[in-house]
Amino acid sequence: MTKTLLLGQTLTYSGNPFLNGWEPVTHHRRRGGVLIDGAKIVEVAEADALRAAHPEAKVIDYGNHLISAGFVDAHMHYPQTGIIASWGKQLIDWLNTYTFPEETRFASRPYADEVAGRTLDLALDHGTTTLTSFCTIHPESVEAFFAAAQTRGMAVVAGKTCMDRNAPDGLRDTAQSAYDDSKRLLQAWHGRGRATYAISPRFSPTSTPDQLAALGALWAEFPDCPMQTHLSEQLPEIAWVRDLFPDARDYLDTYEAFGLLGTKGLYGHAIHLTDRERDRLAEVDASLIHCPTSNTFIGSGLFDMTGLAGRGLRVGLATDTGGGSSFSMLRTMAAAYEIGQLRGAAIHPAQLMWLATEGSARALHMSGQIGHLGAGAAADITVLDLGSTPAIAQRTSRAESVWDMVFPTLMMGDDRAVAAVWVGGTKLR
């Protein structure tokens, strides 16, 4: 098999830049190389050394572009692609006005196929090589998403969204059907190629205690699967949860009581946490997923990135399409920076890039497999043009450090900044 050598600037990490400072664990090569053999990365080193050691390799020289691990979107809703950027409303009204009517359409497999393909292609256009998605209650929506990802060779995490109350006709299942459908889909897809199945109760308000218990039982049967849901996104939502579960200590307890709190739990948003919730999430080593464009777009609040990540909690970064207002992880990094500023903490661009790659992979318990520019990882790679528009180029022309070159692309970049995308060693963009 022919080896391929990509040349350009490279950015790699040897640790978590939120714990002991970003400088010791962040490694930039001004003229680096990434050696690919088949679907895997073999080595990342200085360009000249790799060229000398592997003269047989096919060379692709990206010049001054930045070679990064592919972006990993740790929480989104592919069925909401068609309603992204819908005007106004906070969470509950937004769900009833836009989300639920659109999700009813996914009973149609052809429609689900169309949207799944469109979503994955949009993600690739923006440099995202892995998506973690909620589907709808319809098994067809899950089959469509996994099949579309398989065609493109992409690693994805997804599952059937389960809801048996507080949702319209056509979008409710039952405790039993949620268990049965999820188990069948899990057994069909989990570990098949690059697919990972996630048990997916939407959130406590749309699942009865019986359904939460059934899904908790399913997770106990298949503990190697992730479980994804939503937690403490908005204050009115938290009040609603309190009314629905009057005996619960807090929002997190509505999951914990039914076996839905664990190490492989992915808890989206997690903005308004109590001290007990923070302590329990840290104790079980659960993952929190930060969705900054969504949090500002529907007015949810300001996630405590530095407080939670600095404590060692697993934190991933996500677009939350379509509550999130962009398919771009570049825009998502910009929004994370802006929210950090509003909380009085300037997140460094090295930390932002880590969140969009290594951090999200760590949240998904896939460290070293995806989101990693290093030996043994999947060759999922995004190449960034650091002068993709006149506005960005005039700023980077004044750069005195690599971060002066990278940061303008994080703040102002879009799909035009994505010069190339590789998935599993194959160039797709």
Residues 6+ apart with CB under 8 A from 213: 175, 258, 259
Please tell me the pTM assigned to this model. Answer: 0.97
Q: What is the DSSP string of 392-414?
A: HHHHHTT-SSHHHHHHHHHHH--
CB 383 within 8 A of CB 62: yes
pLDDT per residue, tens digit, the chain (429 aa), is 689 999 999 999 999 999 989 999 999 999 999 999 999 999 999 999 999 999 999 999 999 999 999 999 999 999 999 989 888 777 777 788 888 888 999 999 999 999 999 999 999 999 999 999 999 999 999 999 999 999 999 999 999 999 999 999 899 999 999 999 999 999 999 999 999 999 999 999 999 999 999 999 999 999 999 999 999 999 999 999 999 999 999 999 999 999 999 999 999 999 999 999 999 999 999 999 999 999 999 899 999 999 999 899 999 999 999 888 999 999 999 999 999 999 999 999 999 999 999 999 999 999 999 999 999 999 999 999 999 999 999 999 999 999 999 999 999 999 999 999 999 999 999
For residue 65, with 0-12 CB atoms within 10 Å meaning exposed, 13-18 middle and 19 or more buried, which class applies?
A: buried
Omega cis (within 30) before 374: no
Residues 6+ apart with CB under 8 A from 188: none
List the domains of the chain with CATH numbers: 3-70+371-427 (2.30.40.10), 71-363 (3.20.20.140)
